[in-house]
A and B are shown apart, each in its own frame.
Chain A
């Protein structure tokens, strides 16, 4: 076993905590505990071993790798993996690690970079250095009940501001913020379809539109109406079901896993780190803190979010966006983003060559056109090094800074996750319009696809000799028509309606007028046919099959009462 002395220390720390000798948990108090153990508890041989490791950079590097990869996995605390980089960052400030060269990079960073906050120096008009990297780490909650749920490392600010950002993050995972995010995504958010599936779905919707147009404006399909309607209904319903099932499943997963992530936030102590020891006045870093809270929670347990496509995509892109995105805006506990002083912050982003995108409140100064005007008069500084010498190169003379304006932090999620899709919005609008049309035509489709049984003629008969009442025992009057064929009376076709009142019934009322060219003098001559009616919205097709016939004399003989 390598580095036994570190295990000895860890055992001393955990046992000291359990026995009540140490107040802080072994994780939160790791630096203090190490300082005590190394200086006053470690044996001479252990100190010799530690010093031997410290003498060689190679050995130092082996220790760091072992601690981050092996020890952090094996030395679980509260049944959770330990954040190795946080431990390294804490240890880097105490002896002997404060002299070890490999700990150099951990002294000012947790190596857990997040979205940068734009915090202006006093009297700054917007300089590159005002864009300040923020790091966030979520640790298992300290046993020390007096410890805050959010800890500011390297800067000072009102704890209330940090807690508000934390609550906004919780709302985004399971609350009003999540509802708004899902609504925005449902309206215009990209779906996890492959290109082929997307093309098929778009083609499907276009086919539905084509079929509707064909039925409304094309030639009468005659006997093929049933096929047209069946294809239209099947296609539309399958598209709607697909859309609803996909959106519903993804939303449900996002809600379920968001709930789990929210619980993780509640059970964790969040460490936000911003260098320079600033005393931050105002809450304009709230949006950045809120997003970094989400990022830290994801980092603490990435497997939870990987099972929900929406969160997986957002967190993956948030992680990638972290070095090049900045955010400003005051957030309230529900996630609403409020206005801030913006012009110098835009200028700071323009001067900072690392920043390519900025999240802002919904303000006029953050319009893309306004930013481009400012960019034309702002000179960027040399790009700062990112990740060991790698820098972004800008071939253009004028720096391109994309702004993403938000009224709510949910819009920030949409922007970072790159969820907004114009094509999806177009498809959704089309689909909604088509679905409204289809909903209006559902009755007509039903009459064609599932025709009601043939009705019988029932009472009441007409009270007037000038009218013929054809009363039917059906609940779907719009599915039928009545037609009078007679040699004495003028032939007429009448729609069937449901009449209310004292004479209420479902009937067709046919006005009786004599035929211009009568073929008989028998006024009781004639047949009343009941036909199926075939319509689609405003279009009336040729009558369908005749399903019943009654002698005219029979119907006129029916009593009114």
Chain B
């Protein structure tokens, strides 16, 4: 025997049940915490990383027998931070273009035993050792990482004339993007 069911009531019942089973909505504080950059979430850890990053003295030394030809760019000090493990790995900037307030950058790390697919790159200013930008760098062929990020207007203006052969005004802290803290 068929029992007649009002479709409106059925939908009402289903919605009430779903609401009852759903997890509570995140609080505003939690959402704010999610968008907080990591250096604000773990300032001690950032400070330790910056101390180590600052201690890296890096420049090319030419011991070749013949005079130099062309240019070589300038190595960028980089620190790969994986949990408790930190590794210094100088980076070479291979491509840099600032157009329409976007930074397109490719860099290559000195050979490292493990090649991560994506890094969260923190740009730390060379002069003040302050975090100035954060972006994701994806592995893009032959060990090169690519960054494509919108720049704040002040950085865009400052970096627009930068050439790949100029000394870079930043250092890198690289954190594997899969790193869950």
Contact = CB atoms under 8 A, between A and B. Distances in A.
A20 to B, nearest CB: 3
A36 B69 contact: no
Contact of A144 (B70, B144, B146): B70
A31 interface: yes
B141 A23 contact: no
Contacts of A144: 70-73
A97 to B, nearest CB: 11
- Sorted nearest first, the 4 A-B pairs with minimum C-beta distance are A20-B163, A143-B70, A145-B72, A146-B72
A74 to B, nearest CB: 24
B94 interface: yes
Nearest to A267: B69
A515 B140 CA distance: 116
Given A36-B146, A40-B104, A21 B68 contact: no
Contact of B141 (A31, A142, A143, A147): A31
B144 A32 contact: yes
B16 interface: no
A147 B94 CA distance: 12
Contacts of B72: 144-147
A28 B69 CA distance: 15
A16 interface: yes
B73 A32 contact: no
Given A32-B95, A32-B141, A35-B140, A20 B165 contact: yes
Given A32-B106, A32-B144, A93-B142, A23 B95 contact: yes
Q: Is the interface of B mostly helix, strand, loop or mixed?
A: loop
Interface string A15-37: 01001111110000101110110
A141 interface: yes
A31 B165 contact: no
Contacts of A94: 141
Given A21-B163, A23-B92, A32-B141, 11 more contacts: A23-B94, A32-B106, A32-B144, A33-B95, A39-B140, A40-B104, A141-B69, A141-B70, A142-B70, A145-B72, A146-B60
B149 interface: no
Contacts of A31: 141-142
B135 interface: no
17 contacts: A16-B95, A16-B97, A20-B165, A20-B166, A21-B95, A23-B71, A23-B73, A23-B164, A31-B141, A32-B94, A32-B141, A36-B104, A39-B140, A40-B104, A144-B71, A146-B73, A147-B72
Contacts of A147: 72
Given A145-B69, A146-B73, A36 B95 contact: yes
Q: Is the interface of A mostly helix, strand, loop or mixed?
A: loop
Interface string B148-181: 1000000000000001111000000000000000
Contact of A32 (B71, B142, B163): B142
B149 to A, nearest CB: 13
Contacts of A143: 69-71
Contacts of B97: 16, 21
A36 B66 CA distance: 33
A532 B103 CA distance: 101
Contacts of A39: 140
B16 to A, nearest CB: 48
B101 interface: no
A270 to B, nearest CB: 15
A559 to B, nearest CB: 77
Interface in B110-155: 140-142, 144, 146, 148
A93 B141 contact: yes
Contacts of A93: 141-142
A367 to B, nearest CB: 39
Contacts of A142: 70
Interface in A103-158: 141-147
B93 interface: yes
A93 B69 CA distance: 29
B164 A22 contact: yes
Nearest to B107: A23
B70 A145 contact: yes
Contacts of B148: 40
Contact of A23 (B93, B142, B146): B93
